[in-house]
């Protein structure tokens, strides 16, 4: 009996590999069967889901130094907006866009804060969403990653070559910068220095419009953990002017559109582990000022696009 068999050659399958799939975020070419971009690690589903939409999504960066509460802020923000019936609303595009919300709320439900974002871009969580506000008739499509604070700082300082961060800084439509109020009150200015470097990088790389002083991209500076200092809630601009005068002055001189906000996530207590290390425990979720900075940025992007 012959051991040879006849197998039809399905050459049409090979044709799929001849046409590369561009990444929406960094424009790198990828294979058709890849789930994530080989350069920036963004989900390629972002590009697929926008093929039938008339307007492309806007890239928006949310950055802050390590430990400022960026992951927790983004996850809770998504949860609040996705459950709303009126005013500002958010609709996730794709299953990958729900992971950040899911993991954040699961951690808070267990009275824990979500873990810090890994430095490896392959482990970052991405969000592609549609946002509707009372001031805009058409929803705005947004793409934003949960960027590692340590990796962002290295990119800003030395242009390390992280495609996702570089793309957000050069082609992003808006920027949210998170600054840790609790650290500032305790004399730790690391998050302020990160904001100063980021604004300087933005101002030097973005062309300025004629007749307008400073970079034209809208920037919201958000003071996180402001429950530790109610003054930040009462007058965030005055708080910035008096408490971080260098950051306030730099925003005034180098940014054409900017605004200061204050936010807090939960009532927090301090505990001690077996090694006598102190850590924060979220006792009760009490969001305050979470939606306002994001809604302002969305309105600024929409007004620019008109």
pLDDT in tens, 261-271: 999 998 888 78
4 assigned to some structural domain:
no
Residue 103 domain-assigned?
yes
CA 69/CA 91 separation, integer angstroms:
23
Q: What is the CATH number of the domain that holds 252?
A: 3.40.50.300
Which is more confidently placed, 122 or 303? 122
Mean pLDDT of the chain: 86
Q: What integer pLDDT is reported at residue 211 of this predicted model? A: 45
What residues form DSSP beta bridges with 130? 91, 141
- Split at pLDDT 50, 70, 90, the class of 280 is confident
Mean of the pLDDT values across residues 197-218?
Answer: 72
Does 56 fall in a domain? yes
**Does the predicted TM-score (pTM) go above 0.85?**
yes
Domain membership of residue 236 (yes or no) is yes
Question: Number of folded domains in the chain?
Answer: 1
Does 3 map to a domain?
Answer: no
* Residue 126 forms part of a structural domain: yes
Range of the domain at 55: 19-305
Q: Specify if 13 maps to a domain.
A: no
Max CA separation in the chain (angstroms) = 91
Residue 5 counted as domain residue: no
């Amino acid at each position: 009996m012959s051991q040879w068999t006849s197998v039809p050659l399905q050459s049409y399958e090979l044709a799929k590999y001849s046409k590369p799939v561009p990444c929406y975020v960094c424009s790198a070419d990828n294979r058709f069967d890849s789930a994530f971009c080989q350069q920036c690690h963004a989900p390629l589903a972002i590009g697929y889901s926008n093929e039938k939409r008339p307007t492309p999504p806007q890239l928006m960066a949310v950055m802050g130094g390590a430990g400022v509460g960026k992951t927790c802020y983004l996850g809770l923000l998504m949860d609040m907006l996705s459950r709303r019936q009126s005013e500002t609303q958010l609709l996730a595009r794709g299953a990958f866009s729900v992971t950040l919300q899911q993991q954040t709320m699961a951690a808070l439900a267990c009275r824990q804060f979500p873990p810090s974002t890994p430095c490896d871009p392959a482990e970052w969580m991405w969000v592609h969403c549609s946002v509707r506000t009372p001031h805009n008739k058409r929803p705005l499509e947004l793409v934003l990653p949960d960027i590692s604070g340590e990796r962002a700082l290295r990119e800003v300082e030395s242009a390390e070559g992280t495609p996702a961060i570089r793309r957000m800084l050069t082609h992003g439509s808006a920027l949210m910068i998170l600054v840790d109020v609790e650290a500032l009150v305790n004399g730790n200015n690391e998050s302020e220095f990160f904001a100063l470097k980021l604004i300087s990088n933005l101002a030097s790389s973005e062309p300025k419009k004629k007749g307008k002083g400073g970079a034209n991209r809208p920037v919201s500076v958000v003071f996180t953990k402001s429950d530790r200092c109610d003054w930040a809630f009462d007058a965030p601009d005055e708080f910035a002017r008096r408490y971080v005068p260098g950051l306030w002055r730099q925003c005034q001189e180098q940014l054409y559109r900017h605004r200061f906000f204050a936010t807090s996530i939960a009532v927090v207590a301090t505990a001690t582990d077996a090694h006598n290390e102190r850590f924060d425990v979220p006792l009760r979720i009490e969001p305050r000022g979470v939606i306002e900075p994001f809604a302002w940025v969305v309105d600024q992007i929409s007004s620019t696009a008109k």
